[in-house]
Amino acid sequence: MKTMHLNLHKKWFDMILSGEKKEEYRELTDYWKTRMKNIKKAGVKTVTFSNGYAKDRDQFVAEINYIAIRTGLPVWGAEKDKVYFVIHLGKILTDKISNTIR
């Protein structure tokens, strides 16, 4: 299955993994517009989140429910009144440590 790959700071990584944060934000730049278009075209249904760039970094896979364009929540890292690609997340499917379905 194809998956989108995103790196996160530890705070956001932990909040999404715990279920506290239900969406992730990406800016409306040409880079992300192209990437989101390609993700939609390819039918990608999951996102693999990584904490950092090390070879042995923590990772998990989550469902993508849908992607919208709107403002985000400052408590989850968005700037007030700024419009983003908002990736609405579903269930956490696997993590790097146990590699099992939750």
Instruction: Determine, yes or no, domain membership for 21.
Output: yes
> Is 18 in a helix, a strand, or coil?
helix
Tell me how far apart the alpha carbons of residues 89 and 15 are, in angstroms, rounded to a whole number.
Answer: 12
Render pLDDT for 33-65 as a digit per residue (tens, 0 to 9).
Answer: 999 999 999 999 999 999 988 888 899 999 999
For the question of whether the overall pTM of this predicted structure is more than 0.95, the answer is: no
% of the chain exceeding 90 in pLDDT: 83
Sheet architecture: strand order including 46-51: 3-8, 46-51, 59-71, 83-95, 23-27
What CATH number did the domain enclosing 86 receive? 2.30.130.30
**What is the domain extent for residue 87?**
3-95
Instruction: Determine, yes or no, domain membership for 102.
Output: no
- Gyration radius from the chain CA atoms: 13
